Amino acid sequence: MKEKIISELKGRGIALDKISEIVFTLQTPYFPYLTMEDCHEAIGAVLKKREVQHAILTGLALDVLAEKDMLPEPLLSIIKNDESLYGIDEILALAITNVYGSIGLTSFGYLDKTKMGIIGELNNVKHRQVNTFTDDLVAAIAAAASARIAHSARGDIAASED
Amino acid sequence: MKEKIISELKGRGIALDKISEIVFTLQTPYFPYLTMEDCHEAIGAVLKKREVQHAILTGLALDVLAEKDMLPEPLLSIIKNDESLYGIDEILALAITNVYGSIGLTSFGYLDKTKMGIIGELNNVKHRQVNTFTDDLVAAIAAAASARIAHSARGDIAASED
Amino acid sequence: MKEKIISELKGRGIALDKISEIVFTLQTPYFPYLTMEDCHEAIGAVLKKREVQHAILTGLALDVLAEKDMLPEPLLSIIKNDESLYGIDEILALAITNVYGSIGLTSFGYLDKTKMGIIGELNNVKHRQVNTFTDDLVAAIAAAASARIAHSARGDIAASED
Amino acid sequence: MKEKIISELKGRGIALDKISEIVFTLQTPYFPYLTMEDCHEAIGAVLKKREVQHAILTGLALDVLAEKDMLPEPLLSIIKNDESLYGIDEILALAITNVYGSIGLTSFGYLDKTKMGIIGELNNVKHRQVNTFTDDLVAAIAAAASARIAHSARGDIAASED
């Protein structure tokens, strides 16, 4: 399933490397010995989580269907126009960050507002592609991976590891 | 928009009266003077909330699209089969109950598990209609309306009223 | 830290066995081969999660301080009287169930309303002990453990396991 | 109760004007005709919400008790040191932003990370005052007020207004 998810993200123009770059940028100030490999690994762990997979599948499907005009109105216009008062995309993103506890919340909000890296690129192709859910999902994956790194670095049992 | 929502719910076999019955059953033990009219009013107020409307539009769309086999796999099978480990339907329901604070949470969980009234009926027609999101949305509307009644009855400013 | 948590729960009259009983009752209908040992293990895994530990430490502290009249008004009365419109106890419980995705939500709400087992016992000693947070925390631990069992039983990577 | 809340915030060095400044800074780019008076009004409406009041009372109490060494260990050290992996402060903040739907999430995360205005000042007096919960609560009030402004500006019924 994780491979399916990675492949679907690629299909929307999102390479995992791009998400790793965001994670690295966010966490390097706090963890000077962090490597891009650590970031890849964290993202890989996040993408193995069932709830994360479900949120991504659902959000990407809604974006793709909106692009193909296959959603009913008024939902179609709301999603195609990425209306600022439509918050269901943020709700799905929260489902992702919640898996690693609440410390990923701050990072998600910050990434979503500043549109760092690939998140900003997704925002810029809005005329060609519906990324209403996609940009929030990417920000959430980056935020969750960042949270996982923070938890693991402590040495204790991370919130997310059994 | 509220009329649109009510009409969409009717289209899925959900009359507001049925939701009022659930609210009445839940709240009558605590509020002996509660009337069905109070319940209608509470549901009407819930359905005017933007976040509630967005959650309903999104969830119903996913159910209808699943019914028409218009979702990509593996999401299509997950939603058609109402898989127990798929929690995005609960996530959307939470978006609804959250508008009235956290006290609606308990009622939602209780309704979702006991499948009271119309919620159980929706569950019983699973061979004819995909109600993966629909039954959670109905439980959430009932739970939110119940929370609104509890808040209003206190006389203080309810969490939901400006 | 996990041992500290278990010891604090015991200090409030909550033996882990009692929570196992609730988990067993909830999950046995779905998993006929489930044993009490499986339930103990699931609870043990839940109690190792940092976010779960933090929610429990915070909630128990608030109950103990309320018991000793060491909280400022009006918060003291609100917590001592377990006011139904005070939802912060549910908020802390949600922090616990969220670690295992959203499927624990339903169980939490159901347990919180039906007051099964030890949860009901905690509710009955309200004259001697402040259990405003405690009963929600116990319901959440049981709900999270139930969710973990459901995830693990699928054989796929559970939402909570890295 | 609202007056009590405002007075408690003042007691921690937080004047509502300072929060209005943050709201104004956040929303002015989107709403050029916004005035400081609009921001005061939005904050006032937020502070009338029961769930908001409860979150503030609970969070401030925990900070004050930590300052007076009146919390049990290990919770006392965790809160006094504002440990980055302790997320219960963010959980309480989320209870506040949730009342206005999910669009306040992004603003909250952004404010919490960038430590704008009074939020940064609270962070700077960490040697004199425990502000583990306080800074998140202030960010949440600002984020919720910003969300309310966005909802009201649309002319439709805001998510938060009955």
A157 pLDDT higher than 70: no
Cβ contact B157–D49 (<8 Å): yes
Contacts of C162 in chain A (CB under 8 A): 45, 48, 148, 158, 160-162
Instruction: Tell me if chain C has a CB within 8 Å of the CB of B15.
Output: no
Tell me the C-alpha distance between D48 and D56, whole Å: 11
pLDDT in tens, C100-116: 877 888 899 999 989 98
Contacts of C107 in chain B (CB under 8 A): 109, 113
Tell me the C-alpha distance between A50 and A39, whole Å: 20
Tell me the C-alpha distance between D17 and D14, whole Å: 8
- Residue written as token pair 């709400």: C109
Q: Which of D68, D75, D81 to mutate to test the interface with C (most CBs of C within 10 A)?
A: D75
Tell me the C-alpha distance between B151 and A35, whole Å: 51
Measure CB to CB from residue A109 to each of D84, D108, D159 and give the nearest one: D108
**pLDDT at res. B47:** 96
Measure CB to CB from residue A101 to each of C50, C102, C151 and give the nearest one: C50
| Mean pLDDT of all residues belonging to chain B | 89
Question: Are the C-beta atoms of B94 and B81 separated by less than 8 Å?
Answer: no
Mean pLDDT of D49-66: 95
D14 pLDDT higher than 50: yes
Instruction: Tell me if chain A has a CB within 8 Å of the CB of D13.
Output: no
Chain A nearest-CA distance from D37, in A, is 23
Contacts of D4 in chain C (CB under 8 A): 74
Helix (H) and strand (E) counts for chain D?
A: 9, 0
Of B147, B130, B48, B43, which Cα lies nearest the Cα of B94?
B147
pLDDT in tens, B54-66: 999 999 999 999 9
Tell me the C-alpha distance between C36 and C54, whole Å: 26
B156 pLDDT higher than 50: no
Any idea what DSSP says for residue D158? -
Chain A nearest-CA distance from B154, in A, is 30
pLDDT in tens, B125-153: 777 789 999 999 999 999 999 999 988 88
Question: Are the C-beta atoms of B34 and A26 separated by less than 8 Å?
Answer: no
Contacts of C48 in chain A (CB under 8 A): 157, 162
**pLDDT at res. D99:** 83
What predicted TM-score, i.e. pTM, was given to this entire model? 0.89
- Helix residue ranges per DSSP H, chain B: 2-11, 16-27, 36-46, 50-67, 75-80, 88-98, 104-114, 118-124, 134-153
pLDDT in tens, C37-74: 999 999 999 999 999 999 999 999 999 999 999 999 99
A128 pLDDT higher than 90: no
Instruction: Tell me if chain D has a CB within 8 Å of the CB of A106.
Output: yes
Q: Which of A5, A64, A71 to mutate to test the interface with B (most CBs of B within 10 A)?
A: A71
For chain A, the chains sharing at least 3 beta-carbon pairs closer than 8 angstroms are: B, C, D
B157 pLDDT higher than 70: no
pLDDT in tens, A20-70: 999 999 999 999 999 999 999 999 999 999 999 999 999 999 999 999 999
In this structure, which amino acid lies at residue C91? I
CA–CA distances in Å: residue D95 to residues A84, B123, B153, D53:
21, 31, 21, 10
Mean pLDDT of A93-122: 88
By C-alpha distance, the chain A residue nearest C145 is: A162
Tell me what percent of the residues of chain A surpass a pLDDT of 90: 67
Mean pLDDT of C74-91: 93
Any idea what DSSP says for residue C156? S
**pLDDT at res. C155:** 56
Per-window interface: B 66-85 vs A, CB < 8 A = 70-72, 74-75, 78, 85
Q: How confident is the model at residue D158 (pLDDT cuts 50, 70, 90)?
A: very low
B161 pLDDT higher than 60: no
Cβ contact A87–B57 (<8 Å): no
**pLDDT at res. D160:** 45
Measure CB to CB from residue C102 to each of B87, B110, B114 and give the nearest one: B87
pLDDT in tens, D111-127: 998 998 889 888 887 77
Chain B nearest-CA distance from D68, in A, is 30
- Report helix, strand and coil shares of chain C as percent, to nearest 5: 65, 0, 35
**pLDDT at res. B160:** 45
Of C115, C123, C126, C1, which Cα lies nearest the Cα of C52?
C1
Instruction: Tell me if chain D has a CB within 8 Å of the CB of A13.
Output: no
Of C47, D60, C74, C108, which Cα lies nearest the Cα of B102?
C108
Q: Is the peptide bond before C72 cis (omega within 30 degrees of 0)?
A: no
Q: How confident is the model at residue B84 (pLDDT cuts 50, 70, 90)?
A: confident
Cβ contact D84–A94 (<8 Å): no
Instruction: Tell me if chain D has a CB within 8 Å of the CB of C95.
Output: yes
Any idea what DSSP says for residue A18? H
Per DSSP, the three-state class of A9 is helix
D148 pLDDT higher than 60: yes
Tell me what percent of the residues of chain B surpass a pLDDT of 70: 95
Q: How confident is the model at residue D157 (pLDDT cuts 50, 70, 90)?
A: very low
Q: How confident is the model at residue C99 (pLDDT cuts 50, 70, 90)?
A: confident
Tokens of B89: 């339907």
Cβ contact A110–D108 (<8 Å): no
**pLDDT at res. B155:** 56
Of C49, B83, D103, which Cα lies nearest the Cα of A87?
D103
